[in-house]
Amino acid sequence: MAVDLQAAGGNGPVLSVENVDVRFGGIHALKGVSLSVNTGEICGLIGPNGAGKTTLFNSITRLSAVTAGSIRLCGRGIETVPARQIIRLGIARTFQNLGIYGGMTVLENVMLGAHHVTGGSFLGAILRPGLTRRRESEIEQNCRAILDELDLSGVAEEAAGSLPYATQKRMEIARALASRPTILLLDEPAGGLTHSEVAEFGELVSRVRDHHGVTIVLIEHHMGLVMRLCDRIEVFHLGRNLASGTPAEVRANPAVIDAYLGRTRDNA
Ligand SMILES: Nc1ncnc2c1ncn2[C@@H]1O[C@H](COP(=O)(O)OP(=O)(O)OP(=O)(O)O)[C@@H](O)[C@H]1O
């Protein structure tokens, strides 16, 4: 039940964040932050620790309340949508720390992603067992196809917790895809991966964008990956937008270089 791009306003940005403020008591974590992401783009979100990147993801997925500004998905304001409904609108997310169910199989973990969207109830399963079985079978088929695409078929029946870290990371992407998202938010997906795993992971993300037509926003500290993978990069610093542009533009931006070296233009 992801938002229909055409019905929702055609070719405008998939995600539009305007002048968003977030406060945690006395901490002003986001100060008038804006971000616009177009269909099919891979947009990188970078910035030093504490810049507000994860807080922005939390605001988009409604885990953090926005105190000012607007967040729109395909033109529709989502600032008041309950967090549990966000995935049904077409926003899927992975977290910095793996959010997997280690005792469940890989297939079961991935099917959970689909169930978040399709719902279904205990009563419905009792009253319409045939329909429920058919729906389950369709979900399983779709999830097995995603596992196949992400080279995870061979571990579909294994307990997720027993797998290498890089495989678990891939499984998280598979689970997010099972919800058929319009936009995928990846929070430090390459964290903890080895050099060669990072390269493989980058190829996977690129493939996922191409095959699923999904728009991707990626928070990442691994600069090599960000520069290779992203069409556009948005730089945050101290809760504000610092710079925006292509990887080449951002890499050459003196304000960005200063922020990463610990000086800002304001206090240099
Ligand atoms: N739930 C919270 N309560 C209080 N302060 C918070 C909370 N979440 C984030 N903050 C603060 O908001 C600021 C931005 O944090 P955030 O985690 O968004 O930064 P980040 O750019 O994602 O950093 P990192 O790259 O280290 O993950 C920090 O000062 C952080 O301590």
Examine the domain organization and report whether 172 and 189 are in the same domain: no
- Residue 124's domain comprises 102-178
Report pLDDT for 4: 45
| Residue 43 bridge partners (DSSP) | 217, 232
Examine the domain organization and report whether 123 and 161 are in the same domain: yes
Examine the domain organization and report whether 223 and 168 are in the same domain: no
Tokens of 214: 């999904």
Tokens of 86: 């966000």
Report pLDDT for 240: 97
Residues with CB under 6 A from ligand 1: 24, 27, 29, 47, 49-55
pTM, two decimal places: 0.87
CA distance 128 to 6: 34
CA distance 222 to 244: 17
Examine the domain organization and report whether 166 and 142 are in the same domain: yes
Examine the domain organization and report whether 148 and 263 are in the same domain: no
Q: Give residue 8 CA to ligand 1 midpoint distance, Å.
A: 32
Examine the domain organization and report whether 164 and 153 are in the same domain: yes
CA distance 124 to 102: 28
Q: Give residue 171 CA to ligand 1 midpoint distance, Å.
A: 26
Atom of ligand 1 nearest to the CA of 236: 21
CA distance 160 to 172: 10
51 assigned to some structural domain: yes
CATH code for the domain of 56: 3.40.50.300
Which residue puts its alpha carbon closest to atom 8 of ligand 1? 55
Domain boundary residue among 178, 194, 219? 178
CA distance 101 to 92: 17
CA distance 101 to 106: 9
Domain boundary residue among 122, 149, 178? 178
CA distance 231 to 41: 6
Report pLDDT for 130: 66
Examine the domain organization and report whether 34 and 86 are in the same domain: yes
Report pLDDT for 100: 80
Examine the domain organization and report whether 32 and 144 are in the same domain: no
Domain boundary residue among 156, 178, 200? 178
95 assigned to some structural domain: no
Report pLDDT for 6: 42
Examine the domain organization and report whether 43 and 143 are in the same domain: no
Examine the domain organization and report whether 51 and 121 are in the same domain: no
| Residue 15 bridge partners (DSSP) | 37, 73
pLDDT < 70 positions in the chain: 1-11, 116-132, 261-268
- What is the count of structural domains for the chain? 2
| Residue of 33, 54, 58, 187 with the most ligand 1 atoms within 8 Å of its CB, for mutation | 54
Which stretches does DSSP call E strand in the chain?
A: 15-24, 27-37, 42-46, 68-73, 76-77, 91-94, 183-187, 215-219, 232-237, 240-245
Q: How large is the ipTM?
A: 0.96
Strand bridging mode 15-24 / 27-37: antiparallel
Q: Please answer whether residues 2 and 181 qualify as being in contact, where contact means their C-beta atoms are separated by less than 8 angstroms.
A: yes
121 assigned to some structural domain: yes
239 assigned to some structural domain: yes
5 assigned to some structural domain: yes
Examine the domain organization and report whether 107 and 188 are in the same domain: no
Q: Please answer whether residues 260 and 49 qualify as being in contact, where contact means their C-beta atoms are separated by less than 8 angstroms.
A: no
Examine the domain organization and report whether 118 and 156 are in the same domain: yes
